[in-house]
Amino acid sequence: MLKKFFLIALLIPAFAYSSTPQDLSFIEGNWRCVTESDIGKGTTLKMESVGTTSLQTLQSFSKVTYTMYKNQNPAKTSVIYIETSDNFIIEDGLVKSYNYKKHSSKLIKDDLNMFTPETVEWFAKGSGDKEFVSRVKQIDDNNFIAIPVPDDGTTIPCSKVK
């Protein structure tokens, strides 16, 4: 489940496209996306990403914070921070992201004793050789919902950062 959220976070900057023809210039700039998911055993994983997307270079850059906590004690957390970049193309109304690169990662804190520096490196290593596909449902010029393809029921709300 952690790997799923890592992969979703990598996709977020490139999510800002629709499967229908439209002016895509609104996605130029910064987006903040936040989602939470129950990952089992009374544990929740929150993912918050601020991503910058460029249509000119077909590249995106993300700063992602993953916060894991037990539902009975949300003040006690384990937190990982990761910075990545990727390339993307738009084909058949879908965004295909590839060539992921990790620029930095660090364990912020580990109150739950779930991570070691080696675990953080593994988690942050990413999947540079894989391609990830997404589609977006635009709500308005400042908001959209990201949907991974194939659709696994995960939706990620994103808002423009001004």
The β-bridge relationship of strands 156-161 and 143-149 is antiparallel
Find out whether 86 and 60 touch, Cβ atoms under 8 Å. yes
Task: Give the Cα separation of 160 and 36 in Å (integer).
Answer: 19
Task: Please indicate whether residue 96 or residue 63 has the higher confidence score (pLDDT).
Answer: 63
Cα separation, 26 vs 22, whole angstroms: 10
Higher pLDDT, 8 or 49: 49
**pLDDT tens figures, 37-86:** 998 999 999 999 999 999 899 999 999 999 999 999 999 999 999 999 99
How far apart (Å, rounded) are the C-alpha atoms in residues 16 and 24? 8
pTM (predicted TM-score): 0.78
What is residue 19's predicted lDDT score, i.e. its pLDDT?
A: 41
pLDDT in tens, 102-153: 888 889 999 999 887 777 777 666 666 778 888 877 888 899 888 888 877 8
- The answer to whether 17 and 136 have CB atoms below 8 angstroms apart is yes
C-alpha torsion sign, points 74, 76, 78, 83: positive
Q: Cα separation of 34 and 76, whole Å?
A: 19
Residue 9, pLDDT score: 52
